[in-house]
Amino acid sequence: MTATTTPGTSLNVQRISKTFSSRNGTVPALQNVSFTVADGEFYSIVGPSGCGKSTLLNIIAGLEPEDTGHILVGAGIPDAPDNLESNAVGADAPVGPRLGTIGYMPQKDLLLPWRTVLDNAALGLELTGVSRTTARERARSLLDRFGLDGFADSYPAELSGGMRQRAAFLRTVLTDRSLMLLDEPFGALDALTRRSMQEWLLGVWSKMQRTVVLITHDVDEAIFLSDRVAVMSPRPGRIVAEHPVDLPRPRSAEMITSREFIEVKRRIMADLRAALEGSNDAGE
Ligand SMILES: Nc1ncnc2c1ncn2[C@@H]1O[C@H](COP(=O)(O)OP(=O)(O)OP(=O)(O)O)[C@@H](O)[C@H]1O
Ligand SMILES: [Mg+2]
Residues 70, 253: Cα–Cα separation, whole Å: 38
pLDDT score at 76: 54
What ligand has the least distance to the C-alpha of 50? 1
pLDDT for residue 89 is more than 60: no
Binding site membership of 209 for ligand 1 (Cβ less than 6 Å):
no
What pLDDT is attached to residue 81?
A: 44
Q: Which residues contact 53 (CB under 8 A, 6 or more apart)?
A: 45, 47, 183, 215, 232, 237
Nearest CA to ligand 1 atom 4: 20
Pick from 20, 30, 33, 232 the residue to mutate for probing ligand 1's pocket: most ligand atoms within 8 Å of its CB: 20
Query: Which ligand neighbours the alpha carbon of 51 most closely?
Result: 1
Confidence (pLDDT) at 268? 98
Q: Are 248 and 263 in contact (CB under 8 A)?
A: no
Q: Could you read off the pLDDT of 190-224 as tens digits, one per residue? A: 888 888 888 878 887 887 778 999 999 999 999 99
Mean pLDDT of the chain: 86
* Ligand 2 center–CA 59 separation, angstroms: 13
State the Cα–Cα distance between residues 9 and 83, nearest whole angstrom: 11
31 lines ligand 1 (CB under 6 A): no
Q: How is domain 1-96+179-185+211-284 classified at the architecture level of CATH?
A: 3-Layer(aba) Sandwich (3.40)
Q: What confidence tens digit (pLDDT) does each residue in 161-171 have?
A: 888 888 998 89
pLDDT number for residue 228? 98
**210 alpha carbon to ligand 2 midpoint, in Å?**
22
Regarding predicted confidence, which is higher, 105 or 263? 263
**From-to residues of CATH 3.40.50.300 in the chain:** 1-96+179-185+211-284
Instruction: Judge if the beta carbon of residue 147 lies within 6 A of ligand 1.
Output: no
192 φ/ψ angles, rounded to the nearest 5 degrees: -70, -45
Question: Which whole number is the average pLDDT over 34-55?
Answer: 95
Does 110 or 131 have the greater pLDDT score?
131
The region of weakest confidence among 11-15, 171-175, 196-200 is: 196-200
